Amino acid sequence: MNFKEAIGLIGPASRANYDKAMERQAILTKPAGALGFLEDIAGKYSAISPEFPPRVPVQPVVCIFASDHGVLEEGITPWPQEVTTQMVANFLEGGAAINAIAKQIGARVSVVDIGVAGDTSGFAGILSRKVRAGTDNLARRPAMTVAEAEEAVQVGFDVANDLIDQGCDILLIGDMGIGNTTPSAALISWFAKSDVEETTGRGTGIGDDHMVVKIKAIKSAHSRLQDEAASSPLEVLASIGGLEIAGMAGLILAASARRIPVVLDGVIADAAAVVSYELSEHVKDYIFAGHLSQEPGARKALDYIGLKPVLLLDLRLGEGTGACLSVPIIQSAVRTLVEMATFDSASVSKA
């Protein structure tokens, strides 16, 4: 299916299931509201699920979209572009942070080359779906054509559908791409209408000199975009976005259409969520914000969509690390709803 057809199929989650969850929370053996945010998570999860009570998710998959960014030629970061390719190899060899965390949490790691500049075709286990070998420099020209952006969204959409067909019941989004906090901040500040300065962060930890260049690059991109009079979300994505962001947006659309929960990671995934939200506001019903990144754009994006992060751990790594860490919390929230005894069944007195 083309992702554009799927957009029309995405509806709101089930209010009836949400209400059933809340009614059930009230009779479980605990003071009302005592599980705090876990009760909200269980309610949202119930609304996503086609059945009530929902099933505890048992097959999480972290899907890491990797790509490169032409804006690197502006000098926005001290990290060389080849690190993207090297880190993709690291993911596949199991040496990255996401591998350790996914192993702990019991999640599978899937790596998609959707636009890495280097050659990854010989990497064992990679999903080779390269749309182009990195974007163009968004500070000066459109990052990609609209056709390329749509192709990248379709890649993410197809990858997500394949993973769901394989039994994945909760999808976690990860990213790798040197320079990708720049298009993320560009997209978030554009769509959420927030100041570039307040939305742009230090990414890997860049210094003041690089920050000045980074903010200037985003402002040029915005002013170019204004001149282009781009209007549709896909045109904006093509002009100032990134290939991994497009792929992630496609994943969110597929998961929402199939009522499978998606867990966001940091600011790159948050930017993708904003893009998918522009395409269908209902996606917000299917999205959990795994954590709040240190990147200021993360807060802007989550506030814009209306999502509250599960974890506040000051992470700024990406790769899906924060998404993955939130999974046991989400699983526990659903499990309490499903498995706890009621005041009646356990013969516990009420206040």
Residue ranges in contact with a second copy by CB under 8 A: 28-38, 56, 77-80, 82-83, 86-87, 89-90, 93, 95-97, 99-101, 103-105, 203-205, 294, 310-317, 321, 324-325, 328-329, 331-332, 335-336, 338-341, 345-351
Task: Indicate the residue type of 214.
Answer: K
Instruction: Tell me the closest approach of the beta carbon of residue 24 to a second copy, in angstroms.
Output: 13
Is residue 319 part of the annotated active site? The answer reads yes
Closest CA to 308 of 288, 332, 338: 288
Write down how long the chain is.
351
Beta partners for 287? 262
Which is closer to a second copy, CB of 25 or CB of 161? 25
The three-class DSSP label of residue 255 is helix
Strands (E), the chain: 60-67, 108-115, 127-128, 170-176, 262-264, 287-291, 309-311
Nearest approach, Cβ of residue 142 and a second copy (Å): 28
Task: Spot the catalytic one: 5, 235, 319, 339.
Answer: 319
Burial 206-216 (b: 16+ CB within 10 A, else e): beeebbebbbe
Q: What does the alpha-carbon distance between residue 290 and residue 292 come to, in Å, rounded to a whole number?
A: 7
How far is the C-alpha of 68 from the C-alpha of 327, rounded, in Å? 28
Q: Which is nearer to a second copy, 259 or 335 (CB)?
A: 335
Closer Cβ to a second copy, 87 or 143, answer by number = 87
- Per-residue DSSP letters for 58-126? --EEEEEEEE--GGGGG---SS-THHHHHHHHHHHHT-SHHHHHHHHHT-EEEEEEEE-SS--TT-TT-
Smallest gap from Cβ 29 to a second copy, in A, equals: 6
For a second copy, give the closer residue by CB, 124 or 229: 124
Q: Is 344 helix (H, G, I), strand (E, B) or coil?
A: coil
Residue 83 beta carbon to a second copy: minimum distance, rounded to whole angstroms: 5
Give 35 or 246: the residue with its C-beta nearer to a second copy.
Answer: 35
Amino acid at 270: D
Would you say 49 or 331 has its CB closer to a second copy? 331
As measured in angstroms, the least distance from the Cβ of 239 to a second copy is: 28
77-111 burial, b at 16+ Cβ within 10 Å, e below that, comes to bebebebbbebbbbbbeeebbbbebbeebebebbb
Residue with Cβ nearer a second copy (58 or 212): 58
Query: Whole-number minimum distance, CB 336 to a second copy, in Å?
Result: 5
User: Phi first, then psi: what are they for 287, rounded to 5°?
Assistant: -105, 130
The residue behind tokens 């009522």 is: 259
3-state helix, strand, coil in the chain (%, to 5): 50, 10, 35
Least CB distance to a second copy at residue 150 (A): 32
The catalytic residues are 319
